[in-house]
């Protein structure tokens, strides 16, 4: 067993002892799991720098992680399924995405929300996989070994940190979202370089070295600090800054992939005598990851790490959610797993599951090539939103690298595009700013809530794995039916809406050359090559997307919904595509652009879209159409019957919010 010891430090009732249907109450276990892995086992050979880790007397490598488990108190009442939730920056996304639980501070008690996963009987587990997760109570992290030179000395090398301020600042922490930085190894290193760009693909201008330093403000003074950069004249909002510098100390970041694999395998197969709290109760294992952690699952498959050291398949099914075609900085020397930078391993080839050859570089690869060579593939459901097509290379998953042909999808894979939705969960009311990260868009943020689609996807995945019941058909943009389109054509349609601008420049993936050695960059910064094709979902006469699974709010619309938004002048970089996370390449916020309230408003503004009052005779008429749409999705298997009423209720709230404008508009017309 690669789990040497699982140490439970806390055991308590979950959700104040609430009972969940026939399953009953749950308990929460927290603690530390200690790993022992074999660096020469072929299944581990793709983990960068693993063979440079210090070894025990028996030749093994040791590291440890935080873990958390939610399990039925009476495990016999569970469903025998492990739901392994891949942490996103040290926090688990599944309770928000499946249980509609609130977004809480990491040190607040977990909440059950609607209890969906518990009512189904799942055992839910989390494992720290990210070495640089911040020291915040409730955040789970990995404690990896550090790679060493053959003489035992620490490794030194270069890295690039990228950031985009949303407000004027003078100092910047050298990490994403206050994660642990790689400290500069020489505060007076004049070989360090800082550049600035107007946009992520714009020309780079070098900022003179004497204009900035490794320092921060403290007690009214500027003090040296290896984890910060300081510029007296300030960093401008909306501009893209890169810092290229040297650091010392190379944690083996890819052991986070091994930690995930081995804890999941242990919970499935480990004996009670070995300290497994779930012994003999888990027959199947599924994994879910959202955004960063969805990309993590793509990389786990790409590196062939869904089979453990004993040759057993670990996850029978996976849902990499809103990952797009991206990978991540999860298995490289000096990796920054939280970074979303475009010019990073996040955007590296390959993108499609099946093998293909890049016509420019000649490189041949596919995401599932290694996994398929090991044994039976798991069942995989990729779930995307419009944001992944406009900002995450989504079309490269299923359209070839020439951009002219639809690719085959493996039998074990489904691709579900959530038409018109945005990357993060939709907002419950219309707003154009996020106080949490200081961002502001030119349009209100997207309001589509795709969680009912995820709940159905999970139950469909379970039936697919356990009973062989085919999952509902893939739904995504295709060239052969005209639903995958040139973004310029889609932009031209959207620009007919008064007050709407579209992304300029478009966000494209480029060919990137980090050098010949996998996992160890020798080209720092990376050499940027030719762009890959960009295709996005086509739109109808209302500028709503035609392809994919369309939620009732998109099928029976009161607005145009997009997966992108543009930066407001207030936060700088006006008109550039709006990213989250404070870095170039970040995930996209979407838009909900309401229809005109009245015919008079439409005619006065020149809006080509019919007004709300011209579309629906009454609230009842509108909700009848919403119900028809929701029931049809349930019949097709894309939502659960229990969520039909929720979808109708959400639509009613949306109608009330937008039709309040009708009265305002009519008053203005009079």
DSSP 372-416: HHHSPPPEEEEEEEHHHHHHS-GGGGTB-TTSSSBPP--TTEEEE
Same domain, 226 and 332: no
pLDDT level of residue 664 (50, 70, 90 thresholds) = low
Same domain, 272 and 362: yes
Same domain, 381 and 458: yes
Decide if pLDDT at 327 tops 90.
yes
- Split into its structural domains, the chain has a count of 3
pLDDT digits (tens, 9 = 90+) for 613-642: 999 999 999 999 999 999 999 999 999 999
pLDDT digits (tens, 9 = 90+) for 565-587: 999 999 998 888 998 654 556 67
**Section 504-526 average pLDDT:** 95
Same domain, 227 and 367: no
Same domain, 201 and 256: no
pLDDT at 660 (0 to 100): 86
Locus of tokens 């996005």: 536
pLDDT at 435 (0 to 100): 82
Confirm whether 664 is domain-assigned.
Answer: yes
CATH number, domain with residue 382: 3.40.50.1820
Decide if pLDDT at 83 tops 50.
yes
Tell me which of 233, 248, 263 is where a domain ends.
248
Dist CA 251 CA 104 (whole Å): 30
pLDDT at 277 (0 to 100): 98
Helix axes 644-669, 619-636, angle to 10 degrees: 150
pLDDT at 575 (0 to 100): 87
Decide if pLDDT at 289 tops 50.
yes
Can you spell out the DSSP letters for 42-94?
GGGTTSTTGGGS---TTS-EEEEEEEEEEEESSGGGS-SEEEEE--BTTB--H
Tell me which of 231, 248, 265 is where a domain ends.
248
pLDDT digits (tens, 9 = 90+) for 21-41: 999 999 999 999 999 999 999
pLDDT digits (tens, 9 = 90+) for 384-427: 999 999 999 999 999 999 999 999 999 999 999 999 999 999 98
State yes or no: cis peptide before 525, omega within 30 of 0: yes
pLDDT more than 90, % of the chain: 91
From start to end of 479-627, where are the E strands?
Answer: 484-485, 510-513, 527-531, 536-537, 559-562, 591-594
Same domain, 304 and 417: yes
Confirm whether 227 is domain-assigned.
Answer: yes
Domain that holds residue 427: 3-146+252-435+448-467
pLDDT at 582 (0 to 100): 46
Dist CA 167 CA 570 (whole Å): 8
Tell me which of 183, 214, 248 is where a domain ends.
248
Q: What is the DSSP secondary structure assignment for residue 367, as one 8-state letter?
A: T
Same domain, 176 and 46: no
Closest CA to 8 of 32, 36, 28: 32
pLDDT level of residue 1 (50, 70, 90 thresholds) = low
Confirm whether 529 is domain-assigned.
Answer: no
Same domain, 118 and 184: no
Dist CA 422 CA 159 (whole Å): 31
Same domain, 301 and 430: yes
Same domain, 230 and 308: no
Decide if pLDDT at 76 tops 80.
yes
Decide if pLDDT at 288 tops 70.
yes
Longest Cα separation, the chain: 86
Same domain, 198 and 288: no
Confirm whether 523 is domain-assigned.
Answer: no
Closest CA to 200 of 414, 508, 639: 508
pLDDT level of residue 86 (50, 70, 90 thresholds) = very high
For 31, the 3-state DSSP assignment is strand
For 3, the 3-state DSSP assignment is strand
Decide if pLDDT at 663 tops 70.
no
pLDDT more than 70, % of the chain: 97
For 257, the 3-state DSSP assignment is helix
Give me the chain's average pLDDT, please: 96
Confirm whether 478 is domain-assigned.
Answer: no
Confirm whether 580 is domain-assigned.
Answer: no
**Section 461-466 average pLDDT:** 99
Confirm whether 646 is domain-assigned.
Answer: yes
Closest CA to 215 of 236, 187, 191: 187
Confirm whether 196 is domain-assigned.
Answer: yes
Same domain, 108 and 123: yes
Q: 442: which 2 tokens?
A: 């030119």
* Residues 6 or more apart whose Cβ sits within 8 Å of residue 244: 158, 159, 160, 192, 193, 194, 195, 524, 525
Closest CA to 177 of 521, 566, 507, 438: 438
pLDDT level of residue 437 (50, 70, 90 thresholds) = confident
pLDDT digits (tens, 9 = 90+) for 212-251: 999 999 998 999 999 999 999 999 999 999 999 999 999 9
């Amino acid at each position: 067993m690669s789990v040497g010891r699982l140490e439970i430090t806390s055991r308590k009732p979950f959700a104040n002892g609430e009972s969940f249907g026939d399953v009953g109450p749950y308990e929460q276990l927290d603690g530390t799991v200690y790993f022992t892995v074999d660096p020469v086992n072929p299944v581990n050979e793709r983990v960068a720098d693993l063979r440079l880790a210090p070894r025990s007397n028996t030749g093994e490598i040791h590291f440890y992680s935080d873990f958390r488990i939610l399990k039925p108190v009476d495990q016999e009442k569970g469903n025998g399924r492990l739901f392994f939730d891949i942490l996103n920056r040290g926090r688990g996304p599944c309770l928000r995405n499946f249980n509609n639980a609130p977004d809480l501070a990491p040190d607040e008690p977990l909440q059950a929300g609607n209890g969906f996963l518990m009512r189904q009987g799942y055992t839910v587990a989390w494992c720290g996989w990210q070495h640089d997760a911040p020291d915040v109570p409730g955040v789970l992290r990995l404690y990896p070994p550090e790679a060493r030179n053959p003489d035992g000395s620490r490794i030194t090398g270069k890295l690039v940190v990228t950031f985009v301020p949303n407000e004027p600042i003078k100092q910047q922490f050298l990490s994403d979202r206050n994660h642990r930085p790689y400290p500069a190894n020489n505060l007076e290193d004049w070989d360090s370089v800082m550049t600035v760009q107007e946009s992520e693909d714009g020309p780079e201008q070098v900022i003179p070295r004497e204009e900035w330093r490794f320092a921060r403000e403290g007690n009214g003074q500027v003090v040296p600090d290896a984890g910060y950069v300081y510029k007296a004249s300030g960093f401008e909002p909306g501009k893209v800054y890169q810092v290229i510098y040297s650091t010392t100390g190379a944690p083996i970041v890819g052991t986070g992939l091994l930690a995930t694999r081995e804890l999941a395998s242990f919970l499935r197969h480990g004996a009670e005598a070995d300290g497994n709290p779930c012994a003999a109760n888990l027959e199947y294992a599924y994994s879910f990851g959202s955004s960063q952690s969805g990309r993590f699952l793509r990389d786990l498959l790409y590196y062939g790490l869904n089979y453990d050291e004993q040759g057993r398949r670990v996850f029978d099914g996976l849902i990499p959610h809103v990952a797009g075609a991206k990978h991540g900085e999860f298995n490289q020397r000096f990796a920054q797993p939280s970074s979303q930078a475009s010019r990073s391993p996040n955007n590296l080839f390959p993108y499609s599951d099946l093998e293909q050859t890049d016509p420019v570089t000649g490189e041949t690869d596919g995401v599932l090539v290694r996994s398929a060579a090991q044994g039976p593939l798991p069942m995989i459901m990729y779930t995307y939103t419009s944001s992944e097509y406009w900002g995450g290379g989504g079309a490269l998953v299923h359209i070839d690298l020439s951009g002219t042909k639809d690719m085959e999808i493996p039998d074990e894979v489904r691709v579900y595009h959530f038409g018109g939705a945005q990357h993060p969960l939709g907002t419950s009311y219309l707003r154009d700013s996020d106080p949490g990260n200081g961002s502001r868009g030119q349009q209100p943020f997207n309001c589509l809530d795709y969680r009912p689609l995820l709940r159905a996807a999970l139950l469909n995945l379970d039936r697919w794995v356990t009973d062989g019941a085919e999952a509902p058909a893939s739904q995504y943009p295709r060239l052969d039916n005209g639903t995958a389109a040139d973004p310029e054509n889609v932009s031209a349609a959207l620009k007919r809406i008064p007050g709407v601008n579209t992304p300029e420049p478009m966000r494209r993936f480029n060919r990137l050359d980090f050098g010949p050695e996998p996992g160890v960059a020798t080209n720092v910064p990376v050499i940027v090559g030719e762009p890959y094709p960009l295709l996005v979902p086509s739109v109808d006469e209302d500028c709503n997307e035609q392809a994919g699974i369309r939620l009732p709010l998109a099928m029976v619309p009161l607005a145009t919904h997009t997966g992108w938004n543009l930066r407001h002048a207030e936060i700088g970089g006006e008109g550039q595509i709006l990213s989250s996370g404070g870095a170039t390449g970040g995930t996209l916020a979407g838009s909900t652009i309401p229809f005109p309230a009245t015919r008079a408003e439409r005619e006065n503004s020149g809006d080509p879209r019919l007004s709300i009052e011209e579309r629906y005779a009454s609230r009842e008429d509108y909700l009848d159409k919403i119900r028809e749409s929701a029931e049809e999705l349930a019949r097709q298997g894309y939502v659960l019957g229990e969520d039909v009423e929720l979808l109708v209720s959400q639509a009613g709230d949306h109608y009330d919010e937008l039709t309040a404008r009708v009265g305002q508009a009519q008053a203005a017309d009079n």
